[in-house]
Amino acid sequence: MHRDISFQRRRMGNRLLWIVLALTSAALSAAHAFPLLAPEPQQSQAAHLSAYVLTRYQYKPAPLNDSLSSKIFDNYLKTLDREKLFFYQADIDRFANDRTGLDDAIIRGDLDIPFAIFNLYQQRKTERIAYARSLLKSGFDFGKDESYQPSRKDAAWAKSEDEMNDLWRKRVKSAWLSLKLAGKSDKSIVDILGKRYGDQLNGITKAKSDDVFQDFMNSYATTLDPHTNYFGIRASEQYDISMRLSLIGIGAVLQDKDEYITIKELIAGGPAARSGQLKIGDRIVGVGQGENAPITDVVGWRIDDTVALIRGAEDSVVQLDVLPAESGPDGKHKLVSLVRKKISLADQAAKKSIVEVKDGNSTRRIGVISLPSFYQDFVARRKGDKDFKSATRDVARLLEELKKDQVDSVLIDLRNNGGGSLNEAVELTGLFVGKGPVVQERDAKGNISVEGENDDGVAWNGPLGVLINHASASASEIFAAAIQDYGRGVVMGELSFGKGTVQAIVDLDRLAKNKQPKYGEIKMTVARFFRINGGATQLRGVTPDIGFQMMIGAGEFGESSYDNALPWERIKAADYTPVADLKDVVPLLQASHDKRIENDRDFRNLEETISKLDVLRKKNLISLNLAARTKQRKALDTVSGLHEKTRKAGQTADASDGKAGGMAPLGDDAPDEASSDSGQGIENGHKMPKDVFLDEAVHILSDEVGLLKNNPKLADSIRPKLVMR
């Protein structure tokens, strides 16, 4: 009883505090025309229902108590003000009494606290943008020696208005200097920044009650693990669209990161991926509708507003002003023109090519199968269509063609393959190892099931390689891990993403038996994957047998980049028998690889520039002095330019002769697939970009073929004893 009275008193005191804050916000709201938002009845019900699901059925359910409330509180503040640009330390202190009250807010359906926090955030944001606009009148002294930290996620909250003003003065000065170094006049800079800040103020006025609830409930969900999310009605519609890949656009998954709309993933077969001009980590700073159309600055925009601008009618042109991933905040932009297309399963289909590698008097043929996703036409399969499209079926067909072409080895290229169907990953593994377990799955109750292939025959029993990078995730990791555990093939590339969890969607409206949607959906983690050797792919990913660094900023994404990723674990190994043992051949291949890249200038330059760019990107300090900043930019541009030049290094090759320094695809799939929506594709006789990592991977497999031919005893010890189909 005493505890209840204390809670009521505390709640009453906090409510008075929030009333005062609300009145303050209301006064500023009237002055600056941003809405003072309040919770709606259905949101209280949705919060309660979400808590019911998450506390009972999530893989590692956490009781909704004071301890979790504190984590939700921190996560909510991080969602609103990750860079600590708006709230003061005094605001955080003012919130302190409510740190352990959000569990009660969710359970009781009283959402006043999170809404009051959001309204104060709107107030602070309005104040800051208004201050930023005021600085444009007088300009800046770029002869002064001072610096600015672009990332403030680890910084302290500002303790005074003077400290906050100085922070924003440097922030606006940095933005001005970036535009100045890009060749803009002072008048143009004032216009650009004035419009940018005006758009941000307009964005504040567009906020709705649903936006607040979405942010708060997703802060609760993601506290449990990075892949558990709450989707309100609007967010749920967007998620469904992305899963179906049915809306017309550029085929990219975007995220809001440090005020920039950043490319998180490129959808296989989409305009962005096929263009070859965009990559993970690139930042979209402007969008134009049509050829030669004016570019709309989208820095600081809401991500849904930016996505709406990028989407459009099929076959229409959208132009993107892009700040490349490797560039600093004032790096050189590039304009990318794309034709919007609807993405289908056909666009994601596996493709094959053949690469000839010369070794002395020998010429070895390596079949390459590029698999952008583990796709399956689930609808056609459910309808009983015997010819439903699937990754496994397509790869099996391509393997038959490669066998007729008498290739010596096969490489499965899984770079940037973010996963897909678990069933496809299992069946695809069966094409190379035959009957046996492929992956283990443990649910929330600790029950372990084993998924495996039951077919006794294989489609390819010759030498095999798998190429992965840090964007190879989920089903890609299951396949690569199984090939590695069975000793079936050499895994090459870089450490994979590390996602070893299973998610399921819970429709809250279906649970509540609502005819019209009003509660949204929960995507939550319900199980974990484990390798057949008992180790998890979660967090640690798949470590290649032969590794090389391929991606810029790889440490900034992937499972290990999340603060609350589920830990790595081990369970009992499944009952399986390796089909081969590569422990004697991998060191020999590694030695040949090391020796070759010593003399491969393209490979060495690319690895070195990636390392240098990563070092430069991690320096969280940029000068606000014109001379010093110019020097910084030149240094970064030099390394970035070298990276781009090396990445695109190539030579003239006729695709019909199969010779380009060991790097020409022979199959008729390659030229068609390489053509881009912007009309800058690769055609016979044109310059063909050299993919140095694929080039090295096929050379490693060529080395393996040579070892096996020249050492019958070694070949017999590692050759898989498999029955062909």
The structural domains of the chain, with segments of one domain joined by +, span 13-224, 246-339, 351-599+690-718
**Would you say 263 and 535 are in contact if contact means Cβ atoms under 8 Å apart?**
no
Residue 29: what pLDDT? 53
Gap between the Cα atoms of 651 and 642, Å rounded = 17
47: Cα separation from own chain's centroid? 28
pLDDT band at 365 (very low <50, low <70, confident <90, very high): very high
pLDDT, mean of residues 136-146: 94
* Catalytic-role residue among 180, 341, 499, 612: 499
Give the residue from 55, 40, 41, 51 showing the smallest Cα distance to 106. Answer: 51
- The domain defined by 351-599+690-718 folds into 2-enoyl-CoA Hydratase; Chain A, domain 1 (3.90.226)
Residue 474 annotated among the catalytic residues of the structure: yes
* Average pLDDT across the chain, whole number: 84
Percent helix / strand / coil, the chain, rounded to 5: 45, 20, 35
Residue 659: what pLDDT? 35
In sequence order, what are the beta bridge partners of 289? 318
Residue 680: what pLDDT? 30
- Most confident range, picked from 552-561, 646-655, 702-711: 702-711
* Catalytic-role residue among 474, 476, 676, 702: 474
Task: Inform me whether the pLDDT recorded for 322 exceeds 60.
Answer: yes
Q: What angle do CA 431, 437, 443 make, to 5 degrees?
A: 125
DSSP collapsed to 3 states, 188-254: HHHHHHHHHHHHHHHHHHCCCHHHHHHHHHHHHHHHHCCCCEEECHHHHHHHHHHHHCCCCECCEEE
pLDDT band at 116 (very low <50, low <70, confident <90, very high): very high
- Most confident range, picked from 14-28, 132-146, 333-347, 611-625: 132-146
Q: What tens digit of pLDDT does each residue of 664-701 get?
A: 333 323 222 222 233 333 222 333 347 889 999 999 99
Residue 485 annotated among the catalytic residues of the structure: yes
Under CATH, to which class is 246-339 assigned? mainly beta
* Catalytic-role residue among 485, 509, 545, 691: 485
Could you tell me what percent of the chain has a pLDDT over 70?
84
Give the residue from 90, 186, 177 showing the smallest Cα distance to 138. Answer: 186
User: In angstroms, what is the C-alpha Rg of the chain?
Assistant: 28
Residue 208 annotated among the catalytic residues of the structure: no
Residue 341: what pLDDT? 87
